[in-house]
Amino acid sequence: MASSSASNDRYTLYGAPGSGATPVHAALTLIGAQVDVVDVSPWEGESERERVSSINPMRQVPALVLPSGEVMTESAAILIWLGDRYPEAGLCPTPDDPLRARYLRWMVYLPAAIYSMYWVRDEPTRLTPDPAAQAVMLERTAERIAHCWHLMDTQIDEPAPYLLGEKLSMLDLYVTVLSRWTPHRKRFYREAPRMAGVVRRVDADPRLAEFWAARFPFSMG
Ligand SMILES: N[C@@H](CCC(=O)N[C@@H](CS)C(=O)NCC(=O)O)C(=O)O
């Protein structure tokens, strides 16, 4: 899938294994670009957050330094930009493709409805010092995430075999990684039976086997 222009492009990606940098890294792997990785885990505490603060004042990953030197944050924006930058990789519908509206809808739904919940979950003390309230927040955000997966699953077309049809897209990579997080795949499979087959397919994609093993080993089928 790599084109000669992609293989000449060099990126620096901030984000530890299993983080939101993972779908970005998976996309860059399929695109065939060069990636220097800086493993940072901001959810582990202040010192890790400080390590990324000069690159992203939000002190979050992923952050991607483009070949131009510009820094991009926001996982969905990065994935959409990469998809458009490397059309030959075929990882997104082009702007005039009828599937584009659906693609953008769900690419924005994921960070707005689901990924945003992890800011609370990563450090519940940011919203309340009360341990009992923190426990409630953890439980309710997990339920909210599960419900949002369910709502997405009931509104998508039957995957054929991917979320946008025949071709694997950025959307499949994004859902595959986010669905591994709390409340985890067992619950995801129950809430989102249509998407269950998609994420299993992406988990098992031979083009990503080495990548998954190195950056987000995952065994649940
Ligand atoms: N809106 C951001 C969210 C990024 C995000 O929440 N990243 C997590 C890691 S997966 C993080 O850095 N959490 C640490 C924190 O928020 O303190 C995106 O979509 O990229």
Spell out the SS3 assignment of the chain.
Answer: CCCHHHHHCEEEEECCCCCCHHHHHHHHHHHCCEEEEECCCHHHCHHHHHHHHCCCCCCCCCEEECCCCCEEECHHHHHHHHHHHCHHHCCCCCCCCCCHHHHHHHHHHHHHHHHCHHHHHHCHHHCCCCHHHHHHHHHHHHHHHHHHHHHHHHHCCCCCCECCECCCCHHHHHHHHHCCCCCHHHHHHHHCHHHHHHHHHHHCCHHHHHHHHHHCCCCCC
Tell which atom from ligand 1 comes closest to the C-alpha of 111. Answer: 19
Tell whether the model's pLDDT for residue 3 goes beyond 90: no
18 Cα to the center of ligand 1, angstroms? 12
Region 64-75: mean pLDDT is: 98
Backbone angles phi, psi at 169, to 5 degrees: -130, 175
| Cα dihedral 159, 163, 164, 170 in deg (nearest 10) | -160
20 Cα to the center of ligand 1, angstroms? 7
Mean pLDDT of the chain: 96
Of all protein residues, the one whose alpha carbon is nearest to atom 16 of ligand 1 is 119
d(CA 220, CA 174): 17
Q: Which pLDDT belongs to residue 219? A: 80
d(CA 175, CA 213): 18
Whether ligand 1 lies within 6 angstroms of the CB of 60 is answered as yes
Which amino acid, 59? Answer: R
Whether ligand 1 lies within 6 angstroms of the CB of 74 is answered as yes
Of all protein residues, the one whose alpha carbon is nearest to atom 12 of ligand 1 is 60
User: Please, what are the domains in the chain?
Assistant: 4-89 (3.40.30.10), 100-204 (1.20.1050.10)
Whether ligand 1 lies within 6 angstroms of the CB of 75 is answered as yes
| Number of Cβ atoms within 10 Å of the Cβ of 217 | 9
Region 2-6: mean pLDDT is: 72
Positive or negative torsion for Cα 148, 149, 153, 156: positive
Residue identified by tokens 């049809």 is 165
Tell whether the model's pLDDT for residue 2 goes beyond 70: no
Q: Which pLDDT belongs to residue 221? A: 56
4 Cα to the center of ligand 1, angstroms? 32
21 Cα to the center of ligand 1, angstroms? 9
Of all protein residues, the one whose alpha carbon is nearest to atom 11 of ligand 1 is 60
| Number of Cβ atoms within 10 Å of the Cβ of 116 | 13
pLDDT digits (tens, 9 = 90+) for 131-153: 999 999 999 999 999 999 999 99
Region 42-64: mean pLDDT is: 97
pLDDT digits (tens, 9 = 90+) for 83-135: 999 999 999 999 999 999 999 999 999 999 999 999 999 999 999 999 999 99
Whether ligand 1 lies within 6 angstroms of the CB of 111 is answered as yes
61 Cα to the center of ligand 1, angstroms? 5
29 Cα to the center of ligand 1, angstroms? 21
Whether ligand 1 lies within 6 angstroms of the CB of 22 is answered as no
